Amino acid sequence: MGIISPFLSPEALVQLTKGLDPSECWLLSRAEELAPMPPDVLARFGQVMVLDDLAETEDGEEASAALGLHAKVFVTERYPRSESTTDLTVGSGNATAAPPAERQQC
């Protein structure tokens, strides 16, 4: 499970990673969202990444206060099938509320 979200809540992250091996989970968010996150929640992810402010500017440009992480992406890889699949959920939902019990596939 991969999560890219500018806003986070511990409850949502726990629900999204429930029953998953931490080595198969990664998280990308803003430093100000990751800093207050409880260590046991972050331990549910094998890799936790912070968006570098410089990643959003052209070479030599100043970072603008209006810029920031806006993408919301959930990446789910499913292996217990005859063929493995990867599902991408892209939209406006942040990882801040408990996700729906069942996810729709596109």
pLDDT tens for each residue of 28-45: 999 999 999 999 999 999
Distance separating alpha carbons of residues 48 and 5, to the nearest angstrom: 12
CB 14 within 8 A of CB 40: no
Tell me the pTM: 0.68
In a domain, 70, yes or no: no
pLDDT in tens, 65-86: 545 666 677 888 776 666 777 8
- Is pLDDT at 97 greater than 80 in this prediction? no
Distance separating alpha carbons of residues 4 and 71, to the nearest angstrom: 7
- Is pLDDT at 14 greater than 70 in this prediction? yes
Residue located via tokens 């969202």: 33
pLDDT of residue 105: 42
Residues in the chain: 106
In a domain, 101, yes or no: no
In a domain, 10, yes or no: yes
- Mean pLDDT across 91-98: 70
In a domain, 67, yes or no: no
In a domain, 45, yes or no: yes
pLDDT of residue 58: 57
Q: Residue 5: which residues within 8 A CB-CB, separation 6 or more?
A: 28, 29, 33, 69, 71, 72, 73, 94, 95, 96
In a domain, 13, yes or no: yes
In a domain, 92, yes or no: no
Q: Residue 14 belongs to what domain range? A: 1-53
- The domain tally of the chain equals 1
In a domain, 24, yes or no: yes
Beta-sheet strand order (sheet of 85-90): 47-50, 26-29, 2-4, 73-78, 85-90
